[in-house]
Structure 1
Amino acid sequence: MSCGSCVGAVKRVHGKMEGVETFDIDLEQQKVTVKGNVQPDAVRPTVSKTGKKTEF
């Protein structure tokens, strides 16, 4: 993530994910922290759909 548009794309996909209670986006560190009843293996492919690089 390098800009506000990137943050917007990540917000959209996390906002639609079932089980996600909250998420925090740190643009400076290019990091997203997801909290809720969701498996990490489900988060990664969802974020990848935005075209952003993902890793654990």
Structure 2
Amino acid sequence: MGKLLTGLTTGAILGATVGMMVSPNLDRKTQKTLKRARKKVMSMADDTYDNVLNFMK
């Protein structure tokens, strides 16, 4: 289970890094859309993480 969480964390960090590098080159509307999508994905990831922890108890 540790490898899974490590992989997910690494993927999230790499994705955020690439997003920060690409985002300044986009127009404002696209940036806002990406910010909304990021918030939704982070919320879903947090919920999934909590569900996995509760399942493991």
Question: TM > 0.5 between the two?
Answer: no
TM-score, normalisation: structure 2: 0.34
TM-score, normalisation: structure 1: 0.35
The structure carrying a bigger strand percent of its residues is: 1
The structure carrying a bigger helix percent of its residues is: 2
